[in-house]
Amino acid sequence: MTQQLTAAPPRIGRARAAFVRPWLLLAPALLVLAVLLLWPLVRVFLFSLQDYGLREITTGEPNWTGVDNYAEILSTPELWTVVLPNTVGFAVLAVAGTVAFGTGVAVLLASLGTFWRTVTSSAIMAAWAMPAVTGTYVWVWIFDADRGVFNDVLMGLGLLDDPTNWFTDRWTFYAIVLLNVIHHGFPFVAVTVLAGLLGVPKEMLEAAEMDGAGSFRRFFSIIVPQLRQVFAVVIILSTIWDFKVFAQVYLMPGGAGSNRSVLNLGVWSYVESFGQNRYGFGSAIAVLLTLLLLVITAVYVRTVLAEEER
Amino acid sequence: MSTTRTAPALRPLRRTSRRSPLRQLGKGVLVALLLAFTLFPVYWMLNSSLDAQAGHTNSFWPAEPTLDHYWFVLTEGGFGTFLRNSLLVALGTVLISSALALLASVAVARFRFRMRTQILMLVLIVQMVPLEALVIPLFVQVRDLQLLETLIGLVVVYVALALPFGIWMLRGFVAAVPIELEEAAYLDGASWGRMFWSVLLPLVAPGLVATSIFSFITAWNEFIFAMTMLGGATENYTVAIGLRSFFGVHSNDWGAIMAASTIITVPVMIFFILVQRRLASGLTAGAVKA
Amino acid sequence: MTRAMRRPIAAAIGALAVAATTAACGGGSGDDASEGDGTLNVWIMQGTNPDADDFFDEVSTAFEEETGATLDVEFVEWADAHDRFVTSIAGGTTPDVAETGTTWTPEFADAGALAPLDEQVEGAGVTDDLVEGLVEAGTYDGQLYGMPWYAGVRSLVYNTEMFEQAGVEPPTTWAELEDAAAALKEEFPDKIAVAVPGDAEFTVYPWVWGAGGEVATLEGDTWTSQLDSPESQEGIEFWTGLATEGGYSSAGATTWRETDVLDSFAAGDVGMAVMGSWTPGAIVDANPDMDGKFAAVPIPGKDGGMSPSVLGGSHLSMFETAEDKDLAFAFIEMMTTGEFAQKWGEQSGYFPGQVSLLDETLESTDPLVAPFAEQFVDGGASVPAAPTYGAVQAKATTSTMMQSILAGDADVATASAAAAEEMTTILNGSE
């Protein structure tokens, strides 16, 4: 899997071209990234050091307050009891759930015949294609307390006497978000892992089978090590995506701030920015979220890049 | 690339399973459950969109079948215009971001130069920023570029959003092209540019498909930026913000919302199902070689 | 964000006579109307008036005749409006004139985005004819930034069929209301006797005021929320108790917004609910079967009389970015006085913002107009007129309190104390 890098094409006269060419190739992309992502990113950080409100945006005058915003965030008790646990806890569960489920589905798909594999993977594609916003509305509609199909069915089966509002409780609320996120996120994992699975040399599997290894053993002792890189990518990308869930929480009943027990970092940042016109404070939250992700990505970079440079 | 080897790799697994009818049954149950889980929301969306009674009664098939919701959405709802806008924006984003991502990925995958690692890090880091945090600074940026309320402004922003992931994925793909092919081209006297067009490009085409899909989805689904940047320019609305107009004036018109959702989802779904094989191979190459 | 604002639509407010009060012609401003680019950009909220397109076609024609300038009207969704305003203020792309919700006007004025209107209002000679509550809400730092346009009020709307079948009369006291709810529940165990929504702050304050409490009071420069005063708590206790102790509401209602209340009421699932004067039309729209099967009464006072209810409405505000301020005011004047103001009221089901126009409405005997009108005049109240009140709404302070009580996570004392503390902090703001 490792990749050796070529230096310049093997001709002497090309040495200079080899020096300039990568930068020429990179220039348009870097320009776009710098103007539209990097500079705004720096600005977010600058905002986070200010009491930045509507007035500051209009006039463009800075209003520096040092690290006040950060101090306020870190001294908010809800950060530790509600917001961080919701963000981190949910991301852990969502990543674990998405990857485990996606892998399970990939294994199942690999064992199917062509016809059923096509049918099933098309269904998976359908789940993937559903935009997050639409998907969230559909789940909200399904779990609606009074007219949703979920309560209807439970009551029809006699499992529930009165309609329950699943959106008010922190746990059931996030259970629905989890369902939504896994539904939307597992196809990526399943498709990627499946492709990886199919790339595992059959000789290895046959050899193991002849040695009498059961399917579980074969899976964990041969397939998993072979797919280490695939898993690394899938896990890190899912982590980045799941830490940032926004629409899936924001669009749920109570998710936009009125149910404080379900706030996460993303929603908190947005609500403070746009609801309270405290863009500085909201930006500081966003910076913290980014830092949190940075730490996690550092691990990724070390595993993946280090291996490649070897 | 690796998927082309599908069949032989499968045989051992399949043979094992054929042995036991019990296992076959178990597998059938699993497939049924999986299909139910993946398709139920889709089905429910379709069901509600076709039911005049949506929002009043619950039934597993349309209690009063009708196409009225679609009619309403496409005529009064103005969804035709929104669809056209979204398509334009998505196509623009796909073309530009793929081109830029390809060039950049060749640079980072094929050349070793100073700052290479830093640039890779940068590409990774910018993916981690919560988009909500970028709304205000990006808004100001687009304002300064005089592109507020235009589709071009949106395309520019979406290109920026889609670019990092595109570079990241294509990088693995470019790296997977055997260097010997390039060298052969040089030996034949080809210039670098010619080698790029006639050797590299055709070989990374599947990877381009995969990245295009991601850019397409980014542009098709994006919500917050479209809302803030298009402002009052209703004629430039995309489908994602168009969907909002069915919410909340007096009541939530679930039938119309689900019809609009279906209209948004179906093109992507068809597209996905059509390209799924290429998508899978693109992803593996991108991911595995990463 | 501020989706707790009112949701509009047609109700026959009754015949307003053609009282072409003050000069419908935008006096004095026509002369220099040709300045600027000759186009006036206007934002109007979507959905207040079902015939808005036709209405503004007419206005455009009249406006062009009078000033020679063209009118460019854009309709904005309530749900997005606050963000839209904020970003346009930030981007310098504000319209010349916009409809602003009464709780937003001080906020945008505070941001320096709005132009004061006192001089022009004075010049037009309508200063004394404006509805007091709306003027108050549109005043910031002693200056008028929002021209009163229209307003509505919430009262108790009930399902007459259900009431008849259960053999109850519309309540006039809190005790009667509770008895009525009990009787309805007895008769219709599967329906909601009284909807107690968790995400609709304006349905909460009447009970706070009715018990003698206040939402917040201003002393000197300092706001203090009174949501945790014994009186306020009594009111909240009564209102939420209908759900938590009586079980007269539903679990789903814990996360309901006013739109959800309307949906369920229109479906015939709700016995009574606090709803706006603009909702009757929407109810019939959603379910024609409901026509004639519901009526309204003012929100009962604790021991009779009525509990005050929020006057919610809209201003027309002029933005500082307007190049030709006289032209902008010509439009504001045309819209808020005389023929067009009256017509807007008729079509949208709201009360006009001008006293002389309002008087006509008050004489109506329509059972879906009179009770609201009574409430509007005798039982109208206003939320704290602080520029930071919009932030309180966005923080969903009151909804948070309601949801935690209704979900059983906190008792009234705890939840209201937390809400009061938060509201006090936000109201006093950082400035």
Chain C neighbours (≥3 Cβ pairs under 8 A) are: A, B
For residues C292-321, average pLDDT: 92
Query: What is the torsional sign of CA A264, A269, A270, A275?
Result: positive
Measured between alpha carbons, how far is B143 from B157 in angstroms, rounded to an integer? 12
Q: Where are the alpha helices (DSSP H) in C363-411?
A: 370-378, 389-395, 397-406
For residues A8-27, average pLDDT: 69
Does the pLDDT value for residue B3 go beyond 60? no
Contact B12 A202 (CB under 8 A): yes
Measured between alpha carbons, how far is A213 from A218 in angstroms, rounded to an integer? 6
- B60 and B195 in a single domain? The answer is no
Nearest CB neighbour to A57, from listed C90, C426, C430: C90
Q: How far is C123 from chain B (nearest CA, A)?
A: 32
Contact B31 A113 (CB under 8 A): no
Measured between alpha carbons, how far is C10 from C33 in angstroms, rounded to an integer? 33
Nearest CB neighbour to C111, from listed A54, A146, A259: A54
Q: Which domain holds residue B147?
A: 71-288
- Domains, chain C: 39-152+311-381 (3.40.190.10), 153-309+382-428 (3.40.190.10)
Residue B266: CB atoms within 10 Å? 15
Domain with CATH 1.10.3720.10 in chain A: 77-309
Q: How far is A82 from chain B (nearest CA, A)?
A: 19
- B17 and B155 in a single domain? The answer is no
Measured between alpha carbons, how far is A117 from A139 in angstroms, rounded to an integer? 26
Question: Which carries the bigger pLDDT value, residue B281 or residue C232?
Answer: C232
What was the pLDDT predicted at C1? Answer: 31
Contact C252 A55 (CB under 8 A): no
What was the pLDDT predicted at A96? Answer: 94
Burial class (CB in 10 A: 0-12, 13-18, 19+), A77: exposed
- Lowest average pLDDT, out of A57-61, A130-134, C219-223, goes to A57-61
Non-local (6+) Cβ contacts of C349 within 8 A are C8, C9, C10, C11, C12, C13, C152, C277, C278, C280, C281
- Lowest average pLDDT, out of A154-168, A195-209, B146-160, B258-272, goes to A195-209
Average pLDDT of chain C to the nearest whole number: 84
Question: Which carries the bigger pLDDT value, residue B95 or residue B148?
Answer: B95
- B14 and B96 in a single domain? The answer is no
For residues C396-405, average pLDDT: 92
Residue A134, helix vs strand vs coil:
helix
Does the pLDDT value for residue B14 go beyond 70? no
A163 interface with C at CB cutoff 8 Å: yes
Does the pLDDT value for residue A3 go beyond 70? no
Does the pLDDT value for residue B93 go beyond 60? yes
- B95 and B32 in a single domain? The answer is no
Measured between alpha carbons, how far is A210 from B61 in angstroms, rounded to an integer? 51
For residues C37-59, average pLDDT: 84
Report the percent of chain B where pLDDT is more than 70: 83
- B9 and B62 in a single domain? The answer is yes
Angle between helix axes B79-110 and B116-126 (nearest 10 degrees) is: 160
Identify whether the C-beta of residue A287 lies closer than 8 Å to the C-beta of residue A105: no
A30 interface with B at CB cutoff 8 Å: yes
What was the pLDDT predicted at B15? Answer: 46
Burial class (CB in 10 A: 0-12, 13-18, 19+), A225: exposed
Q: Which residue of A has its CA nearest to B154?
A: A36
What was the pLDDT predicted at C243? Answer: 94
Which residues from B are below 8 Å from A60, CB to CB? none
Q: What's the pLDDT tens digit per position in C246-284?
A: 999 998 899 898 888 988 898 899 999 999 888 888 888
Burial class (CB in 10 A: 0-12, 13-18, 19+), B95: middle
For residues B2-15, average pLDDT: 40
Does the pLDDT value for residue C361 go beyond 80? no
What was the pLDDT predicted at B130? Answer: 74
Which residues from A are below 8 Å from C83, CB to CB? 274
Chain A neighbours (≥3 Cβ pairs under 8 A) are: B, C
DSSP category for residue A163 = -
Report the percent of chain A where pLDDT is more than 70: 90
B156 interface with A at CB cutoff 8 Å: yes
Residue A238, helix vs strand vs coil:
helix
Q: How far is A15 from chain C (nearest CA, A)?
A: 48
Average pLDDT of chain A to the nearest whole number: 83
Containing A78, the helix (H) or strand (E) segment is: helix A77-78
What confidence tier does A38 reach under pLDDT thresholds 50, 70, 90? Answer: confident
Identify whether the C-beta of residue C74 lies closer than 8 Å to the C-beta of residue C97: no
Measured between alpha carbons, how far is A225 from A212 in angstroms, rounded to an integer? 19
- B169 and B120 in a single domain? The answer is yes
Identify whether the C-beta of residue C420 lies closer than 8 Å to the C-beta of residue C227: yes
Which residues from B are below 8 Å from A22, CB to CB? 107-108, 110-111, 113, 116
Residue C367: CB atoms within 10 Å? 14
Fold of A77-309: MetI-like fold (1.10.3720)
What was the pLDDT predicted at C37? Answer: 56
What confidence tier does C7 reach under pLDDT thresholds 50, 70, 90? Answer: very low
Q: Which of these, C361, C372, C353, lies nearest to C15 by C-alpha position?
A: C361
Max avg pLDDT among B145-159, B213-227, B266-280: B145-159
Q: Which residue has the tokens 């809302």?
A: B227
Contact C285 B140 (CB under 8 A): no
Total CB pairs under 8 A between chain A and C: 96
What was the pLDDT predicted at B88? Answer: 94
Nearest CB neighbour to C252, from listed A163, A261, A276: A163
Contact B16 A133 (CB under 8 A): no
Measured between alpha carbons, how far is C157 from B264 in angstroms, rounded to an integer? 38
Q: How far is A122 from chain B (nearest CA, A)?
A: 6
Burial class (CB in 10 A: 0-12, 13-18, 19+), A210: exposed
Does the pLDDT value for residue A56 go beyond 50? yes
Does the pLDDT value for residue C20 go beyond 80? no
- Lowest average pLDDT, out of A46-60, C333-347, C415-429, goes to A46-60
Measured between alpha carbons, how far is A247 from A266 in angstroms, rounded to an integer? 9
Q: What's the pLDDT tens digit per position in B201-236?
A: 888 887 888 788 888 888 888 877 887 787 666 778
Does the pLDDT value for residue C293 go beyond 90? yes
Non-local (6+) Cβ contacts of C205 within 8 A are C215, C308, C309, C310, C381, C383, C398
Q: How many domains does chain B have?
A: 2
Contact A258 C396 (CB under 8 A): yes
Written as one string, the DSSP assignment of chain B is -GGGGHHHHHHHHHHHHHH-HHHHHHHHHHHHHHHHHHHHHHHHHHHHHTBTTTTT---SS-SSB-SHHHHHHHTTT-HHHHHHHHHHHHHHHHHHHHHHHHHHHHHHHH---TTHHHHHHHHHHHTTS-HHHHHHHHHHHHHHTT-TTSHHHHHHHHHHHHHHHHHHHHHHHHHHS-HHHHHHHHHTT--HHHHIIIIIHHHHHHHHHHHHHHHHHHHHH--HHHHHHHTT-GGG--HHHHGGGGSSSSS--HHHHHHHHHHHHHHHHHHHHHHHHHHHHHHHHHHHT-
What was the pLDDT predicted at A306? Answer: 62
Does the pLDDT value for residue B65 go beyond 70? yes
- B32 and B83 in a single domain? The answer is no
Q: Which residue has the tokens 């992502």?
A: A37
Measured between alpha carbons, how far is C159 from C268 in angstroms, rounded to an integer? 8
To probe the interface with C, which of A277, A278, A279 has the most C CB atoms within 10 Å?
A277
- B247 and B227 in a single domain? The answer is yes
| Phi, psi angle pair for C278, to nearest 5° | -95, 0
Which residues from B are below 8 Å from C84, CB to CB? 227-228, 231-232
Does the pLDDT value for residue C24 go beyond 80? no
To probe the interface with C, which of A143, A160, A259 has the most C CB atoms within 10 Å?
A259
Containing C75, the helix (H) or strand (E) segment is: strand C70-76
Does the pLDDT value for residue C150 go beyond 60? yes
Q: How far is A239 from chain C (nearest CA, A)?
A: 29
Q: How far is A257 from chain C (nearest CA, A)?
A: 6
- C interface residues, A as partner, C-beta within 8 Å: 1, 82-83, 86, 89-90, 92, 107, 110-113, 198-199, 250-252, 254-255, 264, 269, 391, 394-396, 399-400, 403-404, 406-407, 409, 426, 430
Q: Which of these, C207, C199, C178, lies nearest to C271 by C-alpha position?
A: C178
196-235 in chain B: CB under 8 A from chain A: 217, 220-221, 223
B44 to A141, B72, B271: CA distances (angstroms):
9, 19, 21
Measured between alpha carbons, how far is C29 from C23 in angstroms, rounded to an integer? 12
Residue C202, helix vs strand vs coil:
helix
- B99 and B177 in a single domain? The answer is yes
- B141 and B263 in a single domain? The answer is yes
Report the DSSP pairing between strands C39-45 and C97-101: parallel
- Looking up residue B122, the CATH number of its domain turns out to be 1.10.3720.10
What was the pLDDT predicted at B98? Answer: 93
To probe the interface with A, which of B38, B45, B82 has the most A CB atoms within 10 Å?
B38
- B244 and B124 in a single domain? The answer is yes
Containing C76, the helix (H) or strand (E) segment is: strand C70-76
What confidence tier does B285 reach under pLDDT thresholds 50, 70, 90? Answer: low
Nearest CB neighbour to B130, from listed A11, A43, A266: A266
Does the pLDDT value for residue A70 go beyond 90? yes
Q: What is the Cα Rg of chain C in Å?
A: 21
Identify whether the C-beta of residue C276 lies closer than 8 Å to the C-beta of residue C265: no
Containing C89, the helix (H) or strand (E) segment is: helix C78-91
A52 to A43, A280, B13, B134, C80: CA distances (angstroms):
11, 5, 60, 14, 22
Domain end residue (candidates: B70, B90, B121): B70
Does the pLDDT value for residue A36 go beyond 80? yes
For residues C337-346, average pLDDT: 86
Query: What is the torsional sign of CA C248, C253, C259, C260?
Result: negative
Report the DSSP pairing between strands C97-101 and C192-194: unpaired
Identify whether the C-beta of residue A141 lies closer than 8 Å to the C-beta of residue B48: yes
What confidence tier does B181 reach under pLDDT thresholds 50, 70, 90? Answer: confident
Measured between alpha carbons, how far is B34 from C162 in angstroms, rounded to an integer? 46
What's the number of CA atoms in the CB half-sphere (13 Å) around residue C21? Answer: 28
Amino acid identity of residue A17, one-letter, is: A
- Lowest average pLDDT, out of B114-118, C208-212, C265-269, C330-334, goes to B114-118
Which residues from B are below 8 Å from C3, CB to CB? 248
- B238 and B139 in a single domain? The answer is yes
Contact C87 B228 (CB under 8 A): yes
Does the pLDDT value for residue B246 go beyond 50? yes
Does the pLDDT value for residue C382 go beyond 60? yes
Q: Which residue has the tokens 């029809």?
A: A156
Q: What is the pTM of this model?
A: 0.80
Does the pLDDT value for residue C290 go beyond 60? yes
For residues C180-195, average pLDDT: 94
Q: Outline where DSSP puts E strands in C286-371.
A: 294-297, 309-318, 351-352
Q: Structure tokens of A266?
A: 């993303």
Question: Which carries the bigger pLDDT value, residue B212 or residue B15?
Answer: B212
